[in-house]
Amino acid sequence: MEKTYSTNLTDSQWSTILAFLNDTRKSKHSLIEIFDAIFYMLKTGCQWRMLPKYLPRWKLVYYYFNKWKWDGPIEEIHEHLRDLTRKRAGKERSPSLGLIDPQSVKTIRSGGLCRGIDGGKKTKGRKRHIVVDTIGLLFAVVVHSAHINDSKEAPFVLSELKYRFSRLVKIIADRGYRGDLLDNTKMTFGWILEIILRKDDSTKFQVLPQRWIVERTFAWFESYRRLSKDFEFHPQTSQAVIYLAMTKIILNRIKK
């Protein structure tokens, strides 16, 4: 008996990503069924082994996920859809302005590679370090140990943008990025790093100009239970899951 889920791709959504999959293997299950299973896992947060019996076998789904993670299609599909969304919004492919921020998340008890304690957030786990554009779309993500200071890891995150976006001139950040990073960013990448601070020393919540955009992107992650914690053993797997979440967010905006 076939069962459909709200996470299943529509025909038009599937047609936008099919061109990026170069796989001629004969299989009992089509590639769209594999994607449906991956997005089901992402939305519900279930273990691979707990995928419903109506979906392809978990070993087959995980095989393709792992293959696409290392071969590049996951990022390529996301990048294509992101550029398409920017074009529809009347924007150039390359942004002129980016926003950078990390999010500290807990890892599970069994842990994994590259994890530590964020002393400021009192969180044992990892940081999702992202750069987004002015409409919140993802341009880079690096997952690393939570104990690493934001300004220390920022050059590695920013290097993901180098040579990719010709119009980029400014990156907006918060006070955690102050120090030598300002001059180093200009010298290394040719970009201006602008720090936006609170208007006063109040501990009350404040909506900072443009900074709320990257915070909203983190809020989008909350719609996917797989991202409620960092369940992955490898940081690269965490990055792939984040790209998939953003891919599904963009796909959901595409007319059915």
Q: Which of 79, 234, 105 is nearest to 165 (CA)?
A: 79
Helices (H), the chain: 11-17, 31-44, 58-71, 73-88, 150-158, 181-189, 211-221, 235-251
**57-79 residue pLDDT tens:** 999 999 999 999 999 899 999 99
Question: Which two tokens mark 41?
Answer: 């896992």
Residue 139 host element (H or E): strand 138-145
pLDDT band at 1 (very low <50, low <70, confident <90, very high): very low
pLDDT band at 148 (very low <50, low <70, confident <90, very high): very high
Instruction: Quote the pTM value.
Output: 0.91
In the predicted structure, residue 256 carries a pLDDT above the cut 80:
no
Provide mean pLDDT across the span 9-31.
Answer: 81
Mean of per-residue pLDDT scores for the chain: 90
In the predicted structure, residue 241 carries a pLDDT above the cut 80:
yes
Q: Measured between alpha carbons, how far is residue 225 from residues 24, 69, 196, 219 in Å?
A: 32, 20, 31, 12
What lies within 8 Å, CB to CB, of 16 at 6+ separation is 80, 81, 84, 251, 254
In the predicted structure, residue 206 carries a pLDDT above the cut 60:
no
CA 92 to chain centroid, in Å, comes to 21
pLDDT band at 141 (very low <50, low <70, confident <90, very high): very high
- Cβ-based burial of 230 (10 A; exposed 0-12, middle 13-18, buried ≥19): buried
Tokens 């599909």 sit on residue = 77
Higher pLDDT, 207 or 252: 252
CA separation for the pair 88, 91 (Å, rounded): 7
